[in-house]
Amino acid sequence: MTSNVKVRALVIVGVILICVYGIIGLPTSKQELIDNWNKNIRLGLDLKGGSQLTLQVQLQDAFKAQADQVILRLKEALQKAGVPFADMGRNDPQSIADADKIQIDIKGVPSTQAGTFRQIVQENFSNEWILTPVNSTDYRMTMQPTAALKLKDDTLTQSIQTIDKKINALGLSETSVQKRGGSANEAEIMVQLPGVDDPAHVKQLLKTQAVLELDEVKAGPFSSREEARASTGGILPLDEKIVPTQPRGGVPSEFYIVSRTPVITGRDLRDARPQRGQMGGWETAFVVAQGDASRRFEQFTGSHIGKQLAIVLDNFVMSAPSIKGKIADNGVIEGLSSHEEAADLALNLRAGSLPAGVEVLQEWTVGPSLGSDSIKEGMAAGVAGVIAVIAVMLVYYKRSGINATLALILNAIILIAALSYFGATLTLPGIAGVILTIGMAVDSNVLIFERIREELRAGKAVVAAVDAGFKKAFLTIIDTHVTTVVSCAILFLFGTGPVQGFAVTLVIGLIANVFTAVFVSRTIFDWELGMQKKAVTLSI
Amino acid sequence: MELFKNTNFDFLGKKWPFIILSLVVTAAGMVSLAVHHGPRYGIDFTGGANIWLRFNHEPPVDQIRKALSDKIRGEISVQQITGTQQVIVGTQIADEKELNQRRQTIEDTLLSTFGAGGGKLDLNNSSAEQLANRLREPLLTAGVALSEQDLQDLSRRIEQFRASKGGILNSLDELSQVQGVTPQILEAIRKECSLGPFTILSAEMVGPKVGAELRRQAVLATLYALGGMLVYIAFRFEWIYGAAAVIACFHDTIITIGLFSIFNKEITLTVVAALLTLVGYSMNDTIVVFDRIRENLKLLRREKLENVINISVNQTLSRTVLTSGLTLLTALSLFIFGGQVLNGFSFALVMGIIFGTYSSVFIASPILLLWQNLIERRKAGSGLRAAPAAPAREMAARKPAAR
């Protein structure tokens, strides 16, 4: 063996070791080997079963909420400064594309007060809103483009974080919550839930806003909204609102008048857990965070003993217990029907509320049995195909067929290892990439062997024929491979998920193929020819 | 062993019958596409909902259709997969919200019509979580001491066991094989659960907007990829080689899409992946032949282009047949043994390999020749000067030499 071949052989052994390590690590037992394999070979949802949801964040919700807040603050500020106005309201954008067209209309500000009005708006909202006069008494506020962009971004990021928290709290493994690529307007989030074949529960969780408020009860309960309003003389004070209880099991809603400003909200909670209720049934216990919130809670309960506190969830009064004594930091939400409901509520409270609603655009569920069926059948077919290919190669090219087979197997090992190192997942389209890789790997070997045969037929000596064969086939191999890599690069840039998966797998396979078909195969030939002392022959 | 040794078939001489054959097959596909109003896209591209069921007996297709048409307005398709006990229930385009409801309605209707009923949990259609929730209290009452973790694990093992049985259990007694299921637990399961006659294998819901976007992106990506390859080949060879290769690829793709229409198969995202594979394969095959033509143009300067192409195709014939045969073997095995999920995918692969191989020889190569003849005729016709032996060939020969 010449030193050149030795060096090349070392390189090949090195590559094999690195690849095998990437696939199975350094197992000490059979179980560990299987575990490492399962850990490193990540199968896509279409192969192992699971659900994928594409959610669209209704950004306009966040814009409307922001505008509502501005209206509330502006009303307060104007009242304080004694500036009268006839009407104040916002428009109602319906789609994501219209979200940043949000506007607030203020009507009937006396022209004598125009200066004060402008100053108040300028002082409080000029960072985010632009004020334009419509006529001498009416004004319109629109959102600054930069502020709108920031609000969109923040809403999306916060939605992703909240959804992530909710899903993590379910205790599922390997879930992923990601922003989906695409135009900025789309606001889409992709949620992958391996092993979940019933996403109804997850969708329910995501749709629940879980906005919790603990409000002071001003009056109630009343049997109807009208009765509640009548109790205050027909006009509800500005800082109060009417909230119904949730109708349950045939019992109709009751109505409470509660304070508009909550004592504490869901954001002030530190923890929430489901537990058994004292009277049977289930309830969710919560703990208020230390500091400002718990001080506020303690102070309020201390000064309102004997009065009622309304626990309001998503604008429904869950219960309105009487305050028996000073409470520092804990409470319970009663009246839940099952462990599941209590657990879901606790989960939602822990994760926090979504800044905007979400719509399910796409859902895609593969049951575990279908996934494993696909793998079984696909694997069986793949193995049958590869065995047939190897058999034909061995018959057709005799000993050199072994050469091709080794190159083919090494190619597969490198491909799997690379997928493992890159943390890529193997999906059905990815398998399409693998199949094309195998096809091109076979092709490379065939090209080389046919060339060598041609050279031998033309009367060249074995060593020279091998050399010429490799050299001539190399140009063709480079051309076919580079062309395919070019197309893969474009597919990756412009394609979506599955198309990208195909492109990545194929590029890895092609690079591995140039290495195995040209470098490895050549080394084996050289080694074989180098072993023979005299009268060099080749079985091809 | 050698199949082809020094063959000398006159491939180009027989080009017209093959070109006509191609045109006929293409035309047939086009007619089919026109009759069916375009390709039959899967719901990934049109938007819609699909639910795939497996029954444990012959599926009552008519009953399913009736039960659903009472509940849902609009078109509902119920299709049995031939030779199996599987059924695909589909509903077409609607807006996102309605689709979500429909999907849910279909599931609910199926469960209430065919499910086990009796207020028990249908174990063939429940998640591990539902099972755990259902069993928590009864097990407590029955005095089975299980921690919450044990309960979750047990439910998950039961679910895995069901998956290993093809997703559907025929008798609750089978569960005694599951690790950790004691007679006491089995008793509780019997009280709380029953087995429906079907299981949901997969469910898919795609909003129409997402569908349209996916379709646009897939088509654009493919066209850009073809363009990229054209540029690369034009750079490595000559632009007419690039054009010929791309036309050949296009030919294969169009024919395959036509065949999908003729056989009434759906074009889904997975099929698009197969079409991309086909393009890659066809391109590979064409370049191998072109490479040989380029090499031979240098060696055989006196030979006419037609002869050079024929010689090149003959020289690569052995490789072409072997490679195509081997890849076809793999694709065929996938088509035959690969199962329902891979059916459309492997069909596209098989067709792609057959036409990809054929088009390199009978479409791409003749284009080179026709182009050169065209140039020669135009030059001769304009009478500026007599055509030199083979201008295209000499240009091609000079270019690689200059590299």
Domain boundaries, chain B: 12-41+207-402, 45-118, 121-197
pTM over 0.90: no
- Angstroms from A376 CA to nearest CA on chain B: 9
A428: chain B residues, CB-CB within 8 Å = 270, 273, 341-342, 345
Domain B45-118: top CATH class: alpha beta
Please give the average per-residue pLDDT across B300-326, as a whole number.
88
B385 pLDDT tier (thresholds 50, 70, 90): very low
B226: chain A residues, CB-CB within 8 Å = 487
Of B189, B214, B152, B125, the closest CA to residue A200 belongs to B125
B333: chain A residues, CB-CB within 8 Å = 381-382, 384-385, 388
Residue A25 corresponds to which tokens in the numbers above?
């690590």
Of the candidate ranges A142-151, A241-250, A494-503, B367-376, the one whose mean pLDDT is the lowest = A494-503
* Distance of alpha carbon A348 from alpha carbon A396, whole angstroms: 65
Q: For B162-174, give one letter per residue: b (16+ CB within 10 A) or e.
A: bbeebbbbeeeee
Rank A436-440, B75-79, B339-343, B372-376 by mean pLDDT and report only the highest.
Answer: B372-376
Mean pLDDT of chain B: 82
B255 pLDDT tier (thresholds 50, 70, 90): very high
Q: Mark yes or no for CB contact B334/A361 under 8 Å.
A: no
Q: B7 vs B312, which has greater pLDDT?
A: B312
Which of the listed CATH numbers 3.30.1240, 1.20.120, 3.30.70, 3.30.160 matches domain A61-147? 3.30.1240
Q: Mark yes or no for CB contact B337/A443 under 8 Å.
A: no
Residue A106 corresponds to which tokens in the numbers above?
């203020």
Task: Give the pLDDT confidence score for residue A337 in this predicted structure.
Answer: 73
Cα-to-chain-centroid distance, residue A200 = 17
What value of ipTM does the predicted structure carry? 0.74
B272: chain A residues, CB-CB within 8 Å = 498-499
B403 pLDDT tier (thresholds 50, 70, 90): very low
Q: Is B293 exposed, middle or buried (0-12, 13-18, 19+ CB in 10 A)?
A: buried
Q: For B318-332, give one letter per residue: b (16+ CB within 10 A) or e.
A: bbbebbbbbbbbbbb
Percent of chain A residues topping a pLDDT of 70: 96
Q: Which residues contact A137 (CB under 8 A, 6 or more apart)?
A: A86, A107, A108, A109, A110, A111
Interface test mutation site (partner A, options B291, B294, B317, B349, max chain A beta carbons within 10 A)? B291
Interface test mutation site (partner A, options B130, B198, B313, B337, max chain A beta carbons within 10 A)? B337
* Distance of alpha carbon B63 from alpha carbon B172, whole angstroms: 26
Interface test mutation site (partner A, options B55, B85, B210, max chain A beta carbons within 10 A)? B210
Q: A406 vs B402, which has greater pLDDT?
A: A406
Please give the average per-residue pLDDT across A119-133, as a whole number.
88
Residue B13 corresponds to which tokens in the numbers above?
């001489």
Residue of B nearest to A490 (CA): B225
- Per-residue pLDDT at A185 exceeds 70: no
Whole-angstrom CA distances from A435 to A45, A161, A379, B223, B320 are: 19, 38, 12, 22, 17
Q: Mark yes or no for CB contact A490/B203 under 8 Å.
A: no
Rank A141-145, A526-530, B110-114, B128-132 by mean pLDDT and report only the highest.
Answer: A141-145
B362 secondary structure, DSSP code:
I
* Distance of alpha carbon A144 from alpha carbon A141, whole angstroms: 9
Task: Give the pLDDT confidence score for residue B116 in this predicted structure.
Answer: 65
Task: Give the pLDDT confidence score for residue B399 in this predicted structure.
Answer: 44
- Angstroms from A184 CA to nearest CA on chain B: 14
Domain A208-363: top CATH class: alpha beta
Please give the average per-residue pLDDT across B344-358, as a whole number.
88
B48 pLDDT tier (thresholds 50, 70, 90): confident
Of B98, B97, B79, B101, the closest CA to residue B88 belongs to B79
Q: Mark yes or no for CB contact A365/B269 under 8 Å.
A: no
Task: Give the pLDDT confidence score for residue B28 in this predicted structure.
Answer: 92
Q: Mark yes or no for CB contact A363/B160 under 8 Å.
A: no
A433: chain B residues, CB-CB within 8 Å = 273, 277
A362: chain B residues, CB-CB within 8 Å = 205-207, 210
Please tell me which of the candidates A377, A386, A439 has its beta carbon nearest to residue B338.
A377
Confirm or reject CATH 1.20.1640.10 for domain A3-48+368-531, answering yes or no.
yes
Other Cβ atoms less than 10 A from the Cβ of A235: the count is 7
- Angstroms from A491 CA to nearest CA on chain B: 5
Q: Mark yes or no for CB contact A483/B225 under 8 Å.
A: no
- Angstroms from A87 CA to nearest CA on chain B: 35
B16 pLDDT tier (thresholds 50, 70, 90): confident
- Angstroms from A366 CA to nearest CA on chain B: 4
Please tell me which of the candidates A398, A494, A498 has its beta carbon nearest to residue B224.
A494
Q: Mark yes or no for CB contact B217/A494 under 8 Å.
A: yes
A99 pLDDT tier (thresholds 50, 70, 90): confident
Please tell me which of the candidates A367, A438, A479 has its beta carbon nearest to residue B287.
A479
B346: chain A residues, CB-CB within 8 Å = 381
Q: Mark yes or no for CB contact B319/A389 under 8 Å.
A: no
- Per-residue pLDDT at A355 exceeds 50: yes
CATH of domain B12-41+207-402: 1.20.1640.10
B398 pLDDT tier (thresholds 50, 70, 90): very low
Residue of B nearest to A384 (CA): B333
Residues B246, B226: contact at Cβ < 8 Å?
yes
Q: Mark yes or no for CB contact A367/B273 under 8 Å.
A: no
Cite the beta strand spans of B290-369 per DSSP E. Answer: none
- Per-residue pLDDT at B389 exceeds 70: no
Q: A540 vs A79, which has greater pLDDT?
A: A79
B134: chain A residues, CB-CB within 8 Å = none
Torsion of CA A530, A536, A539, B4, to 10 degrees: 130
Q: Mark yes or no for CB contact B288/A480 under 8 Å.
A: yes
B52: chain A residues, CB-CB within 8 Å = 370
Q: Mark yes or no for CB contact A494/B233 under 8 Å.
A: no
Domain range summary for chain A, segments of one domain joined by +: 3-48+368-531, 61-147, 208-363
* Distance of alpha carbon A483 from alpha carbon A475, whole angstroms: 12
Task: Give the pLDDT confidence score for residue B396 in this predicted structure.
Answer: 45
* Distance of alpha carbon A251 from alpha carbon B6, whole angstroms: 92
Q: Mark yes or no for CB contact B280/A487 under 8 Å.
A: yes
User: What confidence tens digit (pLDDT) does each residue in B190-237 have?
Assistant: 888 888 888 888 888 887 777 787 788 888 888 888 888 888 888 888
A245 pLDDT tier (thresholds 50, 70, 90): confident
A488: chain B residues, CB-CB within 8 Å = 225
A485: chain B residues, CB-CB within 8 Å = none
Task: Give the pLDDT confidence score for residue A463 in this predicted structure.
Answer: 87
B1: chain A residues, CB-CB within 8 Å = 395-396, 398
Please tell me which of the candidates B5, B207, B329 has its beta carbon nearest to residue A385.
B329
B224: chain A residues, CB-CB within 8 Å = 490-491, 493-494
State the first-to-last Cα distance of chain B, in angstroms, to the nearest integer.
Answer: 37
Please give the average per-residue pLDDT across A442-452, as a whole number.
89
Query: What residues does A57 pair with on adjacent strands?
Result: A358
Please tell me which of the candidates B136, B287, B336 has its beta carbon nearest to residue A483.
B287
- Per-residue pLDDT at A82 exceeds 60: yes
B168: chain A residues, CB-CB within 8 Å = 369
Main-chain phi, psi angles of B394, to 5 degrees: -65, -40
Task: Give the pLDDT confidence score for residue A249 in this predicted structure.
Answer: 65
Q: Mark yes or no for CB contact B163/A49 under 8 Å.
A: yes
Q: Mark yes or no for CB contact A506/B280 under 8 Å.
A: yes
